[in-house]
Amino acid sequence: MTLKMPSLRKKVVSAAPPFLLNVALRTLSGVNNLRRGLRGVRQVALDDNRADVHVLIIGPGEKTIPVSGWGAVELVIANQVKDLKSFGFRVDLLNSWNMVDWIRCFARKPQVVICHYDIFALRARTLSRWVGAKCVTLTHYAYAQQPTRWDSQFGRYARNISKSDVFVALNEAIAEVFSTKYPNLEIVVIPNGVDVSRISSVGEHEGAICLGKVEPRKRQVDIARQLTGDENIRFVGEVVDPSFESLTSKQQSLFLGPWTRDQVESSLAKFASLFLLGDGEADALVLYEAQTAGLEILTNAASVGAQNRNLAWISVVASEDEICALLSTIEENKTRTSPAAIASYASTNYGSAQSNSKYAELVRSLICQA
């Protein structure tokens, strides 16, 4: 016989003092972190180059780098490792939760640490001080520019970030939020970039695409509900939104499932426009990828990231009615700028090497300060 005890659990939780709940949650988090350290990704890539500048880049330890499928943060990190090495730096990669791997990497005494995972901000800062390194932290948190959406966990991570030597904000809005909350924090704004050489701009350029994991935050299902299912609009990405089942069969037919990394780079140019209309993005890589493939962009204020809103092919909408009207325009392929012009601009301005050259300048300036 199976015993069901949901009511007992509710009573225990509701009766517990708030400080005990916080202790319990942190203990559970610690157990989960230990499990990740023992069973998760353990990737360490040590550079034998004896260059004068030694950088340690820290990844989330969730997926291997470079990533073969989905994983924008991992893609950003892979390009950063490659680009900084091309600039003549000695670059180690730490992509693991395991503390043995951390000690091993920090024992090599890097001069500058770049931590891409806000959860690791405290650990990275502590070990950086141990070896006399400068610590640079980032957050790729989707709601970083919306403090009213921060949960208690991210509030703690943000406080840890505020104690690093430099915080890199992916867009101006994030910089403004952190500057207001932590006026003594040194902040540099460096948007993302992509390997523009890998993305094809040759294709039909017809219809519209939304590329990304199908989840509540990105609101693909909400948008699909406004469609009949006959439109030349497609959603690409793994479906994890439980409300997907509420769509009609014709609406569901607009969802194509996930693409491989090669498909993303070669197939985006089949479409004329990309839309991203979710509840929040820090600086979505897909917006850079789409423009490199020659696509126009339809987005909203919560998802626009570091994009230049003054560009003719970037539309930032404010209401549901406006979204419907612009989706109709996209579907009818009424583009305002040629795909070749968009792709040319993107190739000139969105390269990862350009973005990472700013990191290189930051690294050199921190070493000079030391």
269-288 tens-digit pLDDT: 999 999 999 999 999 999 99
Which has the closest alpha carbon to 61: 7, 97, 14, 108? Answer: 97
Mean pLDDT, the chain, rounded, equals 89
Chain segment 120-161, per-residue pLDDT in tens? 999 999 999 999 999 999 999 999 999 999 999 999 999 999
- CA distance readout (Å), 199 to 77, 95, 293: 18, 26, 6
Q: What is the pLDDT of residue 71?
A: 85
pLDDT at 238: 95
CB atoms near residue 340 (< 10 Å): 12
How far is it, in rounded angstroms, from Cα 327 to Cα 48?
51
Using the predicted structure, report yes or no on whether residue 210 has a pLDDT greater than 50.
yes
Q: Is the pLDDT of residue 301 over 80?
A: yes
Tell the CATH superfamily of the 39-193+352-369 domain. Answer: Glycogen Phosphorylase B; (3.40.50.2000)
pLDDT tens, position by position, 314-345: 999 876 666 666 666 665 655 578 999 999 99
348 pLDDT higher than 90? yes
Confidence bin at 97 (pLDDT 50/70/90): very high
Does pTM surpass 0.75? yes
Residue 219 in this model has a pLDDT that exceeds 80: yes
Torsion of CA 338, 342, 344, 350, to 10 degrees: -170
Question: Above 90 in pLDDT, residue 26?
Answer: no
Whether the pLDDT of residue 15 is over 50: the answer is: no
Examine residue 17 and say whether the peptide bond preceding it is cis (omega within 30 degrees of 0).
no
Q: What pLDDT does residue 5 have?
A: 37
Q: Find, among 152, 153, 179, 151, the residue nearest to 166 by Cα.
A: 179
Which residue has tokens 């909203």?
A: 300
The average pLDDT across 64-69 equals 86
Q: Which CATH class is domain 196-349?
A: alpha beta
